[in-house]
Copies of this chain bind each other. A is one copy, B any other.
Amino acid sequence: MKKYSVAIVGATGAVGKQILYLLEKSTIQIDQLRLLASAKSAGKTEKFKNKEIVVEETTEDSFKDIDLAFFSASGTVTKKYQQVARDLGAIVIDNTSAFRMDADVPLVIPEVNPEQLHAHNQLIANPNCSTIQMVVTLKPIAEAFGLQRVIVSTYQAVSGAGLDALKEMETQTQAVLNGKKPQAHILPSSSDKKHYPIAFNAIPQIDLFSEDGYTLEEWKMINETKKIMKIEALQVAATCVRIPVKSGHSESIYLEVNKDNVTVNDIKKVLENAPGVLLEDKPSNQIYPMAITAAGKKEVFVGRIRRDLDNKKGFHLWVVSDNLIKGAALNAVQIAEKMIDMSLL
């Protein structure tokens, strides 16, 4: 079996740490593992298979002899180093939004559109966390019954904004419990002007606003879903909201299929057999997906499946998955595993 030299850029971040953890359990044979981060994090150590690895500062020299590079720092870092890494022969799997919508960069969820990997040019984009869990659910439904329309409202966890945001939520929460005023410096977006506390709040802004009043996160869900699913006429609307949850994005999804006479049981059957999906849908026994039960797990959990009361082709779903795992690190590692399966790596 082939052995690979692997680099993780952003190895000390929320997603990078998860990639490290998942690589330990992966079938990918690793010869050499290079952990890269900013100068600030260089010198720290992370454990991999009981061995301490020292984190190095990312430079142009970091990618020598690397076969596979996971990028999970920022769009800026990806833009700065991806070409060097590719020129030196690496295949880059990028978790940022930098190249997702580029026409010649495959945007891949292995359960959904692995065939796109053939068209890789040493650069594969990992979709946005909120997109991945939705599309993993929508794809089998679209294949079985067609899909015309999706309206989604999200309930997104703070870990999606990074470890510092998570720490800030904990500090804010403790402050509120102590009767003090919470301080905010990160959310809704560290690069935006104003910051609001997430503790005991719901913030209807993730990422920056575009001029049309939609946020970039909402545009990601809309555009990425269309690109991955390849349904030209698919209508997608999204409202993205941050809530005080650590890990696990929840989504309230309304969808309309094309076929007539589809039943809730038809949808359930399709989802039960869908790869990566776990049905949790027994309202009579209060079984439905929740962030705290999905956190730390690999699957996309679906429940509360019910027919719309007015539109016969309409259905409502509640979809939850760990945004750092299937929503980010796991999907990236699965892309690499799939490429090995397909002899592309």
Q: Which residues of A contact B (CB under 8 A)?
A: 149, 151, 153, 155, 170, 173-174, 177, 188, 192-194, 196-197, 200-205, 209, 211-214, 222, 235-237, 239, 241, 243-246, 250, 252, 254, 264, 283-286, 288-292, 303-306, 308-311, 314, 316, 318
Q: A243-B155, A309-B237, A310-B237 are in contact. Are A283 and B252 (CB under 8 A)?
A: no
Closest approach, in angstroms, between the C-beta of A8 and any C-beta of chain B? 27
Question: Does B243 contact A196, Cβ atoms closer than 8 Å?
Answer: no
Q: How far does the alpha carbon of A202 sit from the alpha carbon of B252 in the complex, in Å?
A: 11
Q: A205-B286, A283-B209 are in contact. Are A244 and B200 (CB under 8 A)?
A: yes
Question: Does A290 contact B202, Cβ atoms closer than 8 Å?
Answer: yes
The 18 listed contacts between A and B (C-beta, < 8 Å) are: A149-B310, A151-B151, A188-B286, A194-B286, A196-B290, A202-B250, A204-B250, A204-B252, A204-B304, A209-B284, A213-B283, A213-B305, A214-B306, A222-B309, A236-B310, A237-B314, A239-B252, A244-B244
Q: A237-B254, A304-B239, A316-B237 are in contact. Are A291 and B202 (CB under 8 A)?
A: yes
Question: Does B241 contact A250, Cβ atoms closer than 8 Å?
Answer: yes
Q: Which residues of B contact A311 (CB under 8 A)?
A: 235
Q: How far does the alpha carbon of A309 sit from the alpha carbon of B237 in the complex, in Å?
A: 7
Closest approach, in angstroms, between the C-beta of A12 and any C-beta of chain B? 22
Q: Which residues of B contact A241 (CB under 8 A)?
A: 155, 250, 252
Closest approach, in angstroms, between the C-beta of A297 and any C-beta of chain B? 15
Question: Does B155 contact A318, Cβ atoms closer than 8 Å?
Answer: no
Q: How far does the alpha carbon of A120 sit from the alpha carbon of B193 in the complex, in Å?
A: 51
Interface-central residue, A170, A237, A246, A284, by most chain B CB under 10 Å: A237
Closest approach, in angstroms, between the C-beta of A30 and any C-beta of chain B? 32
Q: Which residues of B contact A174 (CB under 8 A)?
A: 177
Which of B197, B204, B304, B309 is the one whose CB lies under 8 Å from A292?
Answer: B197
